[in-house]
Structure 1
Amino acid sequence: MNHHAPRTDLSPCILCGSSSGRYLYPSAGIITCTGCGLVRADDIPDQGRLMELYSESYFRSTNSGALGYDDYIADRDKICRTFRKRLREVEIQAGRKGKLLDVGCATGFFLEIAGQLGWEAKGIEISAFACEFARRHMSVDIMCGSLAQAELIPESFDVITMWDFIEHCPDPSTELAHAHRLLKPGGLLALTTPNISSVSARIWGARWMGIKQGEHLYYFSPATIKRLLLKHHLVPIRVKHVGKYIDVDFFIKRTGQYSATVQRLLSRASRWLGVSDVIIYVNPFDIMLVYARKGITSE
Structure 2
Amino acid sequence: MKTFSMSPAAGERYVPVSCPVCGESRTREGWNCGSYRFARCIGCGHLYQNPQPHFDGLRARYGDDYFSYELENDANFFDLMLKGLQDAGFFELERKLGDRRRFLDIGCATGMLLAYLKNRDWRVQGVEICEPAARYGVEKRKVPIAVGTLDEAAFQDAAFSFVHFSHVIEHVPDPRAFLLEVNRVLEPGGYVITVTPNRAGLQARVFRERWRSSIADHLNLFSRRSLVRLLSECGFSPIGWKTWGGIAKGMAPNFVKAPLDRLAKLAGFGDVVLVVSQKISRKPQDPPVGPPDGAP
TM-score band by shorter chain is 0.7 to 0.9
Cα distance in structure 1, aligned partners of 2:51 and 2:282 = 37
Counterpart residue type for residue 129 of structure 1? P
| Correspondence for 1:219 | 221
TM-score by length of 2: 0.78
Cα distance in structure 2, aligned partners of 1:177 and 1:227 = 13
Structure 2 unaligned runs (5+)? 1-14, 255-260, 265-269, 285-296
| Correspondence for 1:91 | 91
Deviation at 1:10, TM superposition (A): 4.0
| Correspondence for 1:16 | 22
Deviation at 1:243, TM superposition (A): 5.1
SS in 2 for 1:72: helix
Counterpart residue type for residue 15 of structure 1? V
Cα distance in structure 2, aligned partners of 1:297 and 1:77 = 39
SS in 1 for 2:152: coil
**Can you list the C-alpha shifts for 1:153-208, whole angstroms capped at 9, x where unaligned?**
10121100011100000111111000111111111010100111112111111111
- Report matched runs for 1:107-146 at 5 Å: 107-146=110-149
Cα distance in structure 2, aligned partners of 1:83 and 1:131 = 18
Cα distance in structure 2, aligned partners of 1:220 and 1:185 = 26
TM-score by length of 1: 0.77
Counterpart residue type for residue 18 of structure 2? P
Counterpart residue type for residue 155 of structure 1? A
Deviation at 1:15, TM superposition (A): 2.1
| Correspondence for 2:162 | 159
Deviation at 1:296, TM superposition (A): 3.1
| Correspondence for 2:172 | 169
Cα distance in structure 2, aligned partners of 1:154 and 1:220 = 28
Cα distance in structure 2, aligned partners of 1:251 and 1:87 = 22
Residue 251 (structure 1) aligned to one of 249, 252, 258 = 249
Moved more, 162-171 or 107-116: 107-116
SS in 1 for 2:163: strand
Counterpart residue type for residue 227 of structure 2? I
Cα distance in structure 1, aligned partners of 2:93 and 2:211 = 31
- Report matched runs for 1:38-53 at 5 Å: 38-53=46-61
Counterpart residue type for residue 228 of structure 2? K
SS in 2 for 1:58: helix
Aligned residues: 250
* Percentage of matched positions with identical amino acids: 28
Structure 1 unaligned runs (5+)? 1-8, 61-70, 245-249, 256-261, 270-281
SS in 2 for 1:73: helix
**Can you list the C-alpha shifts for 1:6-25, whole angstroms capped at 9, x where unaligned?**
xxx94222222211111211
Cα distance in structure 1, aligned partners of 2:25 and 2:283 = 30
Question: Any runs of at least 4 consecutive aligned residues in structure 1 with deviations exceeding 6 A, and if so which?
Answer: none
Cα distance in structure 2, aligned partners of 1:54 and 1:203 = 30
SS in 2 for 1:54: coil
1:189 and 2:174 aligned: no
The structure whose Rg is larger is 1
Residue 36 (structure 1) aligned to one of 37, 44, 47 = 44
| Correspondence for 1:237 | 239
Cα distance in structure 2, aligned partners of 1:114 and 1:19 = 42
Deviation at 1:87, TM superposition (A): 3.6
Counterpart residue type for residue 84 of structure 1? L
Q: Note if contact 2:39-2:47 (Cα within 8 Å) is conserved in structure 1.
A: yes
1:294 and 2:279 aligned: yes
